[in-house]
Amino acid sequence: MGVIWGNLRTRMEKGLVVSLISRVWRRLRRRKKTPKPQDFAGATLSELFDFIKSQELVPDLKENEDRLKQILGDSSDLTFRHLMFGRELKVPIMVVHVDGMVGSEALMNGLIGPVLEKGLRLPEEKYGDHLNRDELFALIKQQVLLLSSVHEVAELEEVLDYLVRGHAVLLIDGVTKALACEVKGWSERNVEQPTTEVVVRGPQHAFVENRRVNTTLLRRTIASPLLWFEDFKVGAVTNTIVTIAYIKGIVDDGLVEEVRQRIKSIEIDAVFESGYIEELIEDAPYSPFPTILRTERPDKVAAGLLEGRVAIIIDGTPYVLVIPATFATFLTAAEDYYERAFTGSFIRAVRAFAFFLALTLPSTYVAITNFHQELLPTSLTLSIAAQREGVPFVAILEALFLEFSFELLREAGIRLPKAIGPTISIVGALILGEAAVSAGLVSPALVIVVAATAIASFISPIYSMSISVHLLRFPMIILAGTLGLFGVIMGLAAILIHLCAVRSFGVPYLTPLAPMILSEWKDTVVRLPLWQMDTRPKSLVKQEYIRQSPRQRPQPPKQDDN
């Protein structure tokens, strides 16, 4: 009973349990003794898990085959290949794999070919009838297979696991062990240019869906034995492999342990994207701001690792998580470090300003035109008044409409098939922009405001942050329309208070501004030249604080006069 419950707890998502609890409970009670046999009709997920767990490999090949077929529902992509080992001996061997997941070349040349060949060449008279099956097993494993990765497995559950991950499993008649041979070879996207985090100067490759390719990209960036990877299996059904990466010696061990614990405590049935993990381990689930950085750039992840951060690579998505992440992280692009320091600092200032603009421009417009007409220069006031003349909606509604239609455009632009994409921009620009203005439905000034805001909001290199700003704009507009600039300031104060309260894995979100850590300003407020960034962030690194030797400013050699 306790085992079953424990099993449930570790394998099933809690929500599922809650919804199914009564039914599962009754069935579990009814059938205490043996797991449900042959017929799976009406079986629940947990019953199936239990059944799989209870099954073992048996010496008889045929029975093993039947069992695999039964558990996999005789799926059409399941392929069995029966071989006979030896000219006279004729030991039955079975190779199982999932079609499409293995490379046929590797399967042929590394597995089936060598096994058959060895069988034919085996000096049988030496062995006679006495060839021990376990010895044969060891022989094949050690001397025959031309494969780099072969695992010995004893449990049926493991066999299944390897099978669905693209291994070919070799079973020998009379042996209750199997060999899982890595012959993966499914078709996949190549490493390509990043699509959401483009740089002009810098590495032009991005992560892909394959976790192994992604760890490789990291290894190639950081060729150090101290780059450590740790795997976790998350998702009761999807069995997604989640890898955490860190640099031993730089990273704070406490942080790694915390990440480990949080990942381990996830009980969910499926993980499709890093967003799942992000949502299940983040510190501020109700915050509109992301507290975990996601990026598709290996260089960005590598830089994070070298600052003592931990990366989480999730199989099946090109977006890697980097934790902890502070507010400043989201206003930083990789290119800041590749271009000259002045450029980097300037761009950062522009980004900070744009963030503020995106958040407050529409609301400030509404507040000023509704409450504080004295704040603008006379000619601008009159110009806005003239544009507003004849516009049927009050300014706040007008602003909300236009912002909303911009969101429509944005969303439609993303979702639409690529071929129709340009159509939407034309329709949006012409109909919404031009025609709405000339029809007198909206004032041109507001169109300018919304357009400027839209551009400003996308200046954050991380899309998640842009979206947060988009969201916050609406309450800000409502505050502005009801309370004027007072409301805008209240809204900003609320956001600021929230930002001060949020933490990301123990690091306050506004670090290094609040709490103030002056030494980190070198890479936050400005981007100092590399030869001045001698230390790692104090907020992340506990021991290896010094990064490089100081006084590295390059200068021409001194001329000797004599």
Partner 1 sequence: MSRRLRVILVALLLVIPVVLGGCWSRREIERLAFVQAVAVDKAVEPNKIQLTVELARPSALAATSQGGGSLERAVWQVSATGYNVFDALRNFASQSSRQLFWAHNRLLVFGEDIAREGVEDVLDAFFRDPEMRGSTKVAVCKGDTGANFLQAEVPLERVPSQGVVGIVLNGVEKLSTVVDVDVALFGRALAAEGLEPIAIRAEIIDLVSEDESRGSLERGTISKAPRITGAAVFRGTKLVGWLNKAETRGFNWIKGNTQSSVIVVEKPNERDKFLSVELVRANSKLRTEVVDGKPRVIIQIEAMGNFADRENIFVNPEGIAPSVLSIERQMATVIKNEVEAVIKRAKEFGSDIFGFGEAFHRFHPKAWKQFKEDWNDKGFQELEVKVEVKTMLRRSGLIEL
Nearer to partner 1, 478 or 495 (CB): 478
Distance CA 314, CA 273 (A): 7
Distance CA 99, CA 163 (A): 10
Distance CA 453, CA 52 (A): 56
Q: Does 488 bind partner 1 (CB under 8 A)?
A: no
Nearer to partner 1, 350 or 483 (CB): 483
Nearer to partner 1, 288 or 428 (CB): 288
Distance CA 519, CA 537 (A): 8
Distance CA 48, CA 54 (A): 10
Residues 170-199 interacting with partner 1 (rule: CB under 8 A):
none
Nearer to partner 1, 478 or 525 (CB): 478
Q: Does 535 bind partner 1 (CB under 8 A)?
A: no
Nearer to partner 1, 143 or 438 (CB): 438
Residues 199-218 interacting with partner 1 (rule: CB under 8 A):
none
Contact with partner 1 (CB under 8 A): which of 308, 318, 324, 481? 481
Nearer to partner 1, 107 or 396 (CB): 396
Residues 391-410 interacting with partner 1 (rule: CB under 8 A):
391, 394-396
Nearer to partner 1, 28 or 376 (CB): 376
Q: How far is the CB of 227 from partner 1 (least distance, A)?
A: 44
Nearer to partner 1, 210 or 364 (CB): 364
Q: Give the alpha-carbon dihedral of 436, 442, 444, 449, to 10 degrees.
A: -110
Residue 313's nearest CA partner among 295, 326, 333 is 295
Contact at 8 Å (CB) between 311 and 321? yes
Rg value, the chain, Cα: 31
Contact with partner 1 (CB under 8 A): which of 153, 424, 479, 510? 479
Sign of dihedral through CA atoms 154, 237, 313, 524? negative
> What are the structure tokens assigned to 349, written together?
């200032």
> What are the structure tokens assigned to 312, written together?
């989480």
Q: Does 446 bind partner 1 (CB under 8 A)?
A: no
Residues 357-386 interacting with partner 1 (rule: CB under 8 A):
369-371, 373-374, 378, 381-386
Q: How far is the CB of 443 from partner 1 (least distance, A)?
A: 9
Q: How far is the CB of 490 from partner 1 (least distance, A)?
A: 9
Contact with partner 1 (CB under 8 A): which of 487, 508, 512, 537? 487
Residue 397's nearest CA partner among 326, 295, 508, 474 is 474
38-46, 161-169, 241-249, 483-491 -> range binding partner 1 (CB under 8 A): 483-491
Distance CA 195, CA 315 (A): 19
Beta strands at 293-295 and 503-504: parallel, antiparallel or unpaired: unpaired
DSSP collapsed to 3 states, 464-490: HHHHHHHHHHHHHHHHHHHHCHHHHHH
Q: What is the DSSP letter of 319?
A: P
Contact with partner 1 (CB under 8 A): which of 484, 500, 533, 534? 484
* C-alpha 199: how far from chain center: 20
Distance CA 155, CA 314 (A): 26
Q: How far is the CB of 496 from partner 1 (least distance, A)?
A: 16
Q: How far is the CB of 424 from partner 1 (least distance, A)?
A: 30
Q: Where are the beta strands (DSSP E) in 393-439?
A: none
Q: How far is the CB of 369 from partner 1 (least distance, A)?
A: 4
The amino acid that residue 477 corresponds to is I
Tell how many helices (H) and how many strands (E) occur in the chain.
22, 12
Q: How far is the CB of 385 from partner 1 (least distance, A)?
A: 4
Q: How far is the CB of 13 from partner 1 (least distance, A)?
A: 22
Nearer to partner 1, 246 or 365 (CB): 365
3-state secondary structure of 208: coil
Q: How far is the CB of 384 from partner 1 (least distance, A)?
A: 6
Contact at 8 Å (CB) between 12 and 45? yes
Q: How far is the CB of 516 from partner 1 (least distance, A)?
A: 30
Nearer to partner 1, 256 or 394 (CB): 394
40-48, 104-112, 189-197, 475-483 -> range binding partner 1 (CB under 8 A): 475-483
Q: Does 388 bind partner 1 (CB under 8 A)?
A: yes
Distance CA 243, CA 229 (A): 6
Q: What is the residue whose two structure tokens read 């494969």?
A: 147
> What are the structure tokens assigned to 74, written together?
């005789």
Nearer to partner 1, 347 or 445 (CB): 445
Nearer to partner 1, 300 or 388 (CB): 388
Contact at 8 Å (CB) between 367 and 484? yes
Q: Does 482 bind partner 1 (CB under 8 A)?
A: yes
Q: Does 389 bind partner 1 (CB under 8 A)?
A: yes
Q: Does 497 bind partner 1 (CB under 8 A)?
A: no
Size of the site for partner 1 (CB under 8 A): 27
Q: How far is the CB of 76 from partner 1 (least distance, A)?
A: 49
Residue 324's nearest CA partner among 250, 263, 265, 259 is 259
Q: Tell me how long the chain is.
A: 562
Which residues make up the interface to partner 1 (CB under 8 A)?
Answer: 369-371, 373-374, 378, 381-391, 394-396, 478-479, 481-484, 487
